[in-house]
Structure 1
């Protein structure tokens, strides 16, 4: 049985995990230019309606509902590396093409829109193919006790990629011109692609899944998807991901307006509180990574505890914001937002760690499609979250005519979603709780 596997190691070492974190950083570096920077350019420099970039960004989330298809392809293809490299290449090319459409809007609006739609479709597919396959590779080749820390490393490196790209590209974009935007985006894409190729080179070939040599996926896409959905814990986790990420993202577009309208903060000050929130997120992620590495080997259930208390902490922080809407400007807003970020960071990275655990809990050949199903749920909830948050504020303000009450209601609803997510998390069995006998018969692979 060993044969061609005798020169490989069972599982990823820390250096290999760091290298895969560089791939996630590359993904983040391209995404920040195509969602944040390009969004601003379309609204300010091109004077387009904010709805246009909003719909384009929503499109890149919406197309990621196809993640199960890409995940299944990497399960059957025998090489996740090809999907990761190909996805990043498509993402880099599509991001550059999206930037290039800015040259067309003034001369041919409908051609520019058509090309922008195609570009953002490519962005979504590239993220889905590369991101799903990357997480599937991590899930199958990382020892269980290392998964919480691996999730922390990968996600913190993605944030680092976003921050570094934003700072460096921001400096190179001035004095601004559309041609300079295209050049910066193209260079960032080329660097991200080369970094991906170097980072992932030989990682997959030099390791095998922690459970042994990889099992080939012999089920078709529909059968594999049905088998995944037949697994009680995979199904529950999909619902958990959708609800928790909906709660997580709903405050994205309303938090800074909240600080300005009710606390009288300037644009610079609201940007600072956003940075404070992200500082809390990083601290929460780091805590999960450190404690996970210390205790997960002996107590794998700790990851479930992080998810539960992260969701509860997020709900408490949102209840505080709901109360602060009625007590502004006396409420300690900065401390409240830091607490929200910290709890968000704990729950988010713990959920990724649990995702990696559950992905390898099936038949040994379904990590890709499982990650695809959960990635699709996350992408759809992210796409809906920011939009629904703004809609909910507008509707409650129209019905009540009371801005503080409107924010209080919406933050309260978000807290309720986090409480619901915490309750669902308690029902999910982690691999330490589950037994192979619990797996549905649909996962059985027929013998050759």
Structure 2
């Protein structure tokens, strides 16, 4: 019998990235295509798809329970497959509900709401268990690069599915929407299933204590939250993700109102920002691999750099409003994306490093707690950013001042995240954030 590997190989990490590609392919239809169909083709208020997406984010609070479940069974693959099944069924159900709403509005929206709930459950179960599998299987020196690879492959799922769906949805009809969604869901589930075959089996089997002697969920959750390192890292994830997502809905309107950019130009601006995010992720992956064993390999260092640079970019964008067209907005937005990418991949790599600090008995629960903080903050950040701009415009009529104040507030949040991150490693328990350290 072949000897189990201690760590996942790069081909195995790539296969787990394909699961993220599949997940991203289904999610992008939920958050973009169905949103557009409801608002444009069905002429529904934008609040309707907004509330449906909010359901998906609200369910993320259950991530600790899904992580605990995979801890208890000792294997992650069944939870990933079960989550993907729920996600794909929910994605197809949401498309069916949207098509039904054209003729039977109440029934269609009810089905869509139930389906978005299922999508949230699926994303939570599959996403949490996938990250836990990576956290336990990836060698410490590869965590930054592995986090980059998996994140980029999720973006690849967005990039491949959106044009594919757009091509086959023309000319639009409800039946076409169901056919496209059903096809994407089926392909995504099959791809994820094939990618998972044999990956976890190549790792050491869980100990009998991990699989069979599991304390109750709330006892484990209480233990995790009582740990100062885990608690502070949870606060860091929430604050930083709130700052990360708060500019999502206001950057393009800001460019249009203050810098007189048209819709095409602001769309390109968003693309430039995403390009910066990708560049930042690749930068951290390359440096942590090439500089292992040195200070430059510290993910904690890159968290501080990413959050600090994000704050500086947001302050620059806020201060650039009064300059008008002379201000290099494109450069500032690219810098924001670059800093965001550095922060994001370093945070995910650190999450993977810290997940095992409590042993196999808590790995899934810890990852679930941080996943819940991330999901709730990301879901609420965009809404809070937009609401803050609206509130400021009730006080000051000048859009430059209103938007500038909100961007500055987001920068302050990033600085607060830096302060929290610096305290995580200084907590009583010693949990390395440097991927050059060997796993215990």
Deviation at 1:301, TM superposition (A): 6.2
Q: How does 1:261-272 map to 2 (within 5 A)?
A: 261-272=257-268
Q: SS of the counterpart of 1:205? A: helix
Q: SS of the counterpart of 1:215? A: helix
Matched, 1:38 2:34: yes
User: Which whole-Å CA distance do the structure 1 matches of 2:137 and 2:30 have between them?
Assistant: 31
Out of 308, 313, 338, the residue aligned to residue 309 of structure 2 is 313
Segments of 5+ residues of structure 1 without an aligned counterpart are 437-448
Partner of 2:25: 29
User: Which whole-Å CA distance do the structure 2 matches of 1:214 and 1:315 have between them?
Assistant: 45
Matched, 1:147 2:177: no
Assess if the C-alpha contact under 8 Å between 2:71 and 2:360 holds in 1: no
Out of 235, 246, 249, the residue aligned to residue 253 of structure 1 is 249
1:331-374: CA deviation from partner (whole Å, max 9, x where unpaired):
10100100000000000010000000000111222211111000
Larger displacement relative to structure 2 (126-135 or 72-81): 72-81
Assess if the C-alpha contact under 8 Å between 2:281 and 2:345 holds in 1: yes
Assess if the C-alpha contact under 8 Å between 1:29 and 1:192 holds in 2: yes
Matched, 1:177 2:177: no
Out of 41, 49, 52, the residue aligned to residue 53 of structure 1 is 49
Assess if the C-alpha contact under 8 Å between 2:97 and 2:110 holds in 1: no
Out of 402, 409, 413, the residue aligned to residue 406 of structure 1 is 402
User: Which whole-Å CA distance do the structure 1 matches of 2:325 and 2:66 have between them?
Assistant: 49
Larger displacement relative to structure 2 (255-264 or 289-298): 289-298
Deviation at 1:7, TM superposition (A): 2.3
Equivalenced residue count is 431
Partner of 2:152: 156
Distance 1:48 1:344, change over 3 A: same
Out of 333, 353, 359, the residue aligned to residue 357 of structure 1 is 353
Q: How does 1:92-131 map to 2 (within 5 A)?
A: 92-131=88-127
Distance 1:241 1:435, change over 3 A: closer
Deviation at 1:214, TM superposition (A): 8.4
Partner of 1:397: 393
Assess if the C-alpha contact under 8 Å between 1:208 and 1:214 holds in 2: no
Deviation at 1:78, TM superposition (A): 2.4
Matched, 1:215 2:210: yes
Q: SS of the counterpart of 1:208? A: coil
Deviation at 1:430, TM superposition (A): 8.7
Larger displacement relative to structure 2 (221-230 or 171-180): 171-180
Deviation at 1:37, TM superposition (A): 0.8
Q: SS of the counterpart of 1:104? A: helix
Segments of 5+ residues of structure 2 without an aligned counterpart are 433-440
Distance 1:336 1:72, change over 3 A: same
Distance 1:320 1:82, change over 3 A: same
Partner of 1:336: 332
Deviation at 1:103, TM superposition (A): 2.3
User: Which whole-Å CA distance do the structure 2 matches of 1:274 and 1:105 have between them?
Assistant: 31
Deviation at 1:390, TM superposition (A): 0.8
Partner of 1:387: 383
User: Which whole-Å CA distance do the structure 1 matches of 2:66 and 2:292 have between them?
Assistant: 30
Deviation at 1:23, TM superposition (A): 0.4
Partner of 2:437: none
Deviation at 1:149, TM superposition (A): 0.8
1:95-116: CA deviation from partner (whole Å, max 9, x where unpaired):
0110111222233222122111
Out of 185, 191, 202, the residue aligned to residue 189 of structure 1 is 185
User: Which whole-Å CA distance do the structure 1 matches of 2:204 and 2:330 have between them?
Assistant: 46
Partner of 2:290: 294
- CA RMSD, Structure 1 to Structure 2 (Å): 2.0
Q: Which runs of 4+ in 1 moved over 4 A?
A: 211-214, 297-301
Matched, 1:19 2:15: yes
Larger displacement relative to structure 2 (33-42 or 109-118): 109-118
1:116-163: CA deviation from partner (whole Å, max 9, x where unpaired):
110000000000000000000000111111111110110011111111
Distance 1:325 1:79, change over 3 A: same
User: Which whole-Å CA distance do the structure 2 matches of 1:363 and 1:138 have between them?
Assistant: 15
TM-score (normalizing by structure 2): 0.94
Assess if the C-alpha contact under 8 Å between 1:251 and 1:386 holds in 2: yes
